Amino acid sequence: MQRNLRILSCALVLLAAGCGGDSSLPEATGKGSIRTINAIPTSPEINFLIEEQTLSNVNYQGATNPVEYDDLNYTFNFEVFYAGETALRRIASRNVDIVANRDYTFLLSGTVASPTLTLWEDDERTFDSTDTVFAAKFAHASASLGELDYYFADTAVVPALGNQAATLTFGEIAVAADFAGGDYVLTITTAGDPADVVYTSATTTFGARDTYLLTAFDGDASDTAPVMVSRFGKASGSGQLPDVNFPPTVQFINASMDLGAVDIYNDEMLTSLVVADHDFKDVEAEVDLIVGTNTFYYTPAGDTSAVLIETPLIGFGGLRYRAIVVGAAGNPVSLPFLPDLRSIETGARISPFQTSNNYGFVDIYAVEPGTSIDDVLPIRAALVSGIASTSGVLPPGTYELYVTETLAKDVLAGPYVINVVAGDVVDLVIVDTVDPTVLDVLFLSGGPSP
């Protein structure tokens, strides 16, 4: 028995050592960095994987954070969730030999059904601790626009032909260039015509010793501007640079049954009336905001003797906001937020906002007509009153929507019969009624047919 154990032990050692020869496995000598930009306007959140391991998720107009990996060969995969399916669907893959000290960026564009995967790469930029410059790269991911000129300069510099930092067509990226740290304005025009401006950023500070990727995208239904630019910093993170030529807007909704009708002013002296006689369940047309701090004052309709609610709202150019009033008598509040109105091609989006005073948590069910909700799970569960919710997604079809108290099957509202196709947005607000055991639903879009 001991002899057999010795033979087995030697065999295992030889196997681990490649039978005494040198290992054929590749050895890493350094690291390169990689990330993904989502330029598919109709995509849901995209799952970015290295081999079968998830690195990050990325929404439209966004990018994953750069991640460093050994300079070896990897397959990178991209997956999305289709409504009605039980697993993520792989939509694209790319094999890449990572080279040390190189920077790789995937641009995912086109549609989810037919994506285009572009790989940008260049040398990683390094800085000394005393450097006062940053590196900027400009990219074109606006599928609706043709060739563009990018001007990047001090606020006092007017775009002039020949001074552009880059000229790009869709899917292209410019070679990185160094700029002194400080304040800059990015102006994008049609190529060869500096007077035909398609985008202008606010004055933005760019810190030294960082690499920034400035990428233009098409605006979506949540934007008021046709072009939006995202800034992806290597060290400083990401953010949007909205277009200052397109003011933000706000839509007022009164979801407080106890508040009654109100007037809304945008000045402390109550002389600038924005909305008059804003009553329970009223949904107003959009109103322009100023870029920066806006403050709204709610008073009883026709009476400026008392301010019931004071609501600050910081507006960024090109974005759509909502301000929805919730709360019981004596404690109403107006909640500003950014609604997600973007269509996706992988299903119909159900986007709810729960405002009930009588029920702190509710569930939403979507079932085929004539089907009981007793044995199914809600499409959205535990919606908290007064807090914006993430969306649910439905496959195309006809459904009955029901609202119940969380963890209960007693129907508080519904059924509401809706017929949806991929790309629809069912935008709804759950409100109280005079009967404390019954709720109602305001459909802002995608509701039941009249």
Judge if the upstream peptide bond of residue 436 is cis by omega within 30 degrees of 0: no
3-state secondary structure of 109: strand
Q: Does residue 4 register a pLDDT over 90?
A: no
Domain check: are 74 and 208 in the same one?
Answer: yes
In a domain, 162, yes or no: yes
Cα(122)–Cα(436) distance, rounded to whole angstroms? 63
The residue among 11 and 422 whose pLDDT is bigger is 422
- At residue 153's C-alpha, the angle toward residues 150 and 154, to 5°, is 155
**Sign of the torsion angle spanned by Cα atoms 170, 176, 177, 182:** positive
Domain that holds residue 215: 31-241
Domain check: are 284 and 375 in the same one?
Answer: no
Percent of the chain with pLDDT strictly greater than 90? 88
pLDDT at 206: 96
pLDDT at 231: 97
Last residue of one domain, picked from the residues 209, 241, 273: 241
pLDDT at 20: 46
pLDDT 10s digits, 28-52: 899 999 999 999 999 999 999 999 9
Strands 425-432 and 348-354: parallel
pLDDT at 15: 41
Q: How many CB atoms lie within 10 A of CB 303?
A: 10
Q: Does residue 449 register a pLDDT over 80?
A: no
Cα(46)–Cα(31) distance, rounded to whole angstroms? 25
According to DSSP, the residues that pair with 134 across neighbouring strands are: 179
pLDDT tier, 221 (very low <50, low <70, confident <90, very high otherwise): very high
The total number of structural domains that make up the chain = 3
Domain check: are 333 and 352 in the same one?
Answer: no
Q: How many CB atoms lie within 10 A of CB 336?
A: 18
Q: Does residue 11 register a pLDDT over 70?
A: no
Domain check: are 229 and 100 in the same one?
Answer: yes
To which H or E segment does residue 16 belong?
Answer: helix 2-16
Cα(344)–Cα(45) distance, rounded to whole angstroms? 10
Domain check: are 289 and 411 in the same one?
Answer: no
According to DSSP, the residues that pair with 73 across neighbouring strands are: 97
Last residue of one domain, picked from the residues 198, 217, 241: 241
pLDDT tier, 14 (very low <50, low <70, confident <90, very high otherwise): very low
pLDDT at 60: 97
pLDDT at 22: 52
pLDDT 10s digits, 16-31: 444 444 556 678 899 9
pLDDT tier, 156 (very low <50, low <70, confident <90, very high otherwise): confident
In a domain, 288, yes or no: yes
Question: What's this model's pTM, rounded to 2 decimal places?
Answer: 0.89
Q: Collect all residues with Cβ–Cβ distance below 8 Å to 4 and sequence separation of at least 6.
A: none
pLDDT tier, 377 (very low <50, low <70, confident <90, very high otherwise): very high
161-175, 237-251, 263-277: range with lowest mean pLDDT = 237-251
DSSP label at 125? P
Q: Does residue 10 register a pLDDT over 50?
A: no
Cα(426)–Cα(393) distance, rounded to whole angstroms? 10
Q: What is the CA radius of gyration of the chain?
A: 27
Domain check: are 148 and 283 in the same one?
Answer: no
In a domain, 9, yes or no: no
Task: For residues 375-400, give the mean pLDDT.
Answer: 95
Cα(180)–Cα(206) distance, rounded to whole angstroms? 9
Domain check: are 253 and 315 in the same one?
Answer: yes
The residue among 317 and 53 whose pLDDT is bigger is 53
3-state secondary structure of 279: coil
- For residue 118, give Cα distances in angstroms to 36, 92, 122, 380: 10, 11, 14, 35
17-31, 41-55, 144-158, 423-437: range with lowest mean pLDDT = 17-31
According to DSSP, the residues that pair with 322 across neighbouring strands are: 251, 337
DSSP label at 99? -
pLDDT at 145: 96
DSSP label at 182? E
Q: What mean pLDDT is reported for the chain? A: 93
- For residue 355, give Cα distances in angstroms to 247, 278, 352, 404, 430: 28, 17, 10, 14, 6
Percent of the chain with pLDDT strictly greater than 70? 94
3-state secondary structure of 440: strand
Terminal-residue alpha carbon distance, the chain? 85
Last residue of one domain, picked from the residues 241, 275, 290: 241
Domain check: are 280 and 353 in the same one?
Answer: no
Cα(78)–Cα(58) distance, rounded to whole angstroms? 10
pLDDT 10s digits, 158-196: 999 999 999 999 999 999 999 999 999 999 999 999 999
pLDDT tier, 12 (very low <50, low <70, confident <90, very high otherwise): very low
The residue among 450 and 164 whose pLDDT is bigger is 164
6-20, 312-326, 339-353: range with lowest mean pLDDT = 6-20
In a domain, 10, yes or no: no
